[in-house]
Amino acid sequence: MTLRMGTPQGRGALLATILGSGMAFLDMTAVNLALPAIGDDLGTGFAGFQWVVNGYMLTFGALLLIGGALGDRFGRRRIFELGVVLFAVTSLACGLVPGTLGLILARVAQGVAAALLVPTSLALVQSTFVPEDRGRAIGTWSGLAGLATVLGPLLGGWLIRSVSWRAVFLINPVLAGATLWAARRYLPQSSPDSQHPLDLAGAVTAALGLGGVVYALIEGPDLGWPPAAVAAGAAGLVLLAVFLMVEARARHPMLPLRYFRIRAFAGVNATTLLVYAVLSGVFFLLGLQLQRVVGYTPLAAGAATLPITVMLLFLSRLSGSLADRIGPRLPMTVGPLIAAGGVALFSRVLAGASYVTGILPGVLVFGLGLGLTVAPLTSAAMNALPEGHAGTASGVNNAVARLAGLLAVSLLPLAAGVSGVGEVGGAAFSAGFVRAMWIGAGTMILGGVVAWLTVPAKSA
């Protein structure tokens, strides 16, 4: 069955997929804003903040490829609905647990649910709309689902201030109910595209390898690099090497390395890694800087980034249509270069900064760059593989984006000298924040350069 944009069935199908993936994206940014409140309530320090964020992204990123493969094998709508239910249950656990360890474990489980939800959401858009409408459909999905990435701080800030940080999680079952209703009513049943066995060895080695590396990067600076942290990092690197060997030899790998011989696919995923690393790193540190250094409330900190939300809303669909006409290379090059200017301007977010002169310029420039980048990047990733591999393409590209966030939250604070600081919000933290923004700007520029050199000038 193929749907058309502008029809009731098409609008309903987009609503279901946007609500579903939006829940997962909203949590990534709303939780960033809740970190100071979580720290005050549970006595959590900077390393704990990193685990609350990375516990989710670890399983989300490591299992996204399996999530996409499950959709291809058992039907995308079925796996999508399973992900919605699991996300609601694990969100309840996040909102009700009493301590930091319980919250981290619940976040790990929540990431598993998101790994089922997100790749099947985008694959459903790719596979259910007619070819001539897919660019607009993906652009709308990118803008409105990705909108949750930046809308999360505004909604999260209001919930944290008015209710509790726990409400950030407890709202998800309500959204899950609406998503299930829309999915049952508007999404067509999808037949399995694949009967290949699942690559469980790849999933396990990827998750354990990433876990070991992340443990070393978070706990090493905080504890003075004890032998356990060094050993975990070394074991993680070994397991990641094993993962690549498993994928190279498996008959049906979850990460088909041969696809990376396709220049367009390799290029768009390299660009994704760089762009989304900066996006995740900026929002992780910016929320802390606004609250602990500038002195904003959670609601004010969330409202500070509202212009990014508006710009993504209006620009993503336009940039998706533009990429359909002229190809993805130009917007994927210009967008990151503009966004880099916005990240550099965030280095002016310091104690006593005025919103109009110190914060808003970075917000506007960053939002413009993201609005030009996100939809063409997503569409280019999906179009780089053959038609029958939509779930795999979605899973790989989303896994790269989540891996980028995972590494950014671990590596960027370490590179900028933020990891191991005694006080989140003190002078050392603020100086490290400035260094992190300049590192992020350079990384975003590199993303634009990679896109120019590797992404096709015209869509396939």
| Nearest CA-CA partner of 379 in 172, 161, 125 | 125
Residues 6+ apart with CB under 8 A from 45: 39, 222, 424
> Which residues make beta-bridge pairs with 40?
none
Residue with tokens 């950030």: 168
What's the confidence (pLDDT) of residue 92?
A: 95
Chain segment 102-156, per-residue pLDDT in tens: 999 999 999 999 989 888 887 788 778 877 777 778 777 766 766 666 667 778 8
Neighbours of 213 (CB within 10 A): 23
Residue 313, pLDDT score: 74
Max CA pair span of the chain: 60
- For domain 8-188+254-454, the CATH class is mainly alpha
Q: Could you read off the pLDDT of 402-419 as tens digits, one per residue?
A: 889 888 998 999 898 887
Full-model pTM: 0.85
- Residue pair 108/57 in contact (Cβ under 8 Å)? The answer is no
**Domain boundaries along the sequence of the chain:** 8-188+254-454, 199-253
CA distance 254 to 401: 16
Work out the average pLDDT over 308-324.
Answer: 82
pLDDT tens-place string over residues 417-460 = 887 666 787 888 999 999 999 999 999 999 999 999 998 877 55
Q: What's the token pair of residue 52?
A: 């609350």
Distance CA 409, CA 440 (A): 12
Q: Give Cβ neighbours of residue 268 (< 8 Å, ≥ 6 apart).
A: 328, 332, 377, 380, 381, 384, 397, 451, 454, 455
At residue 129, the 3 state secondary structure works out as strand
Write 236-245 long-range contacts (CB < 8 A, 24+): 236/208, 236/209, 236/210, 236/211, 236/212, 237/209, 237/212, 237/213, 238/209, 239/205, 239/208, 239/209, 239/212, 240/205, 240/206, 240/209, 240/210, 240/213, 242/205, 242/209, 243/202, 243/205, 243/206, 243/209
**45 and 36 Cβ atoms separated by less than 8 Å:** no
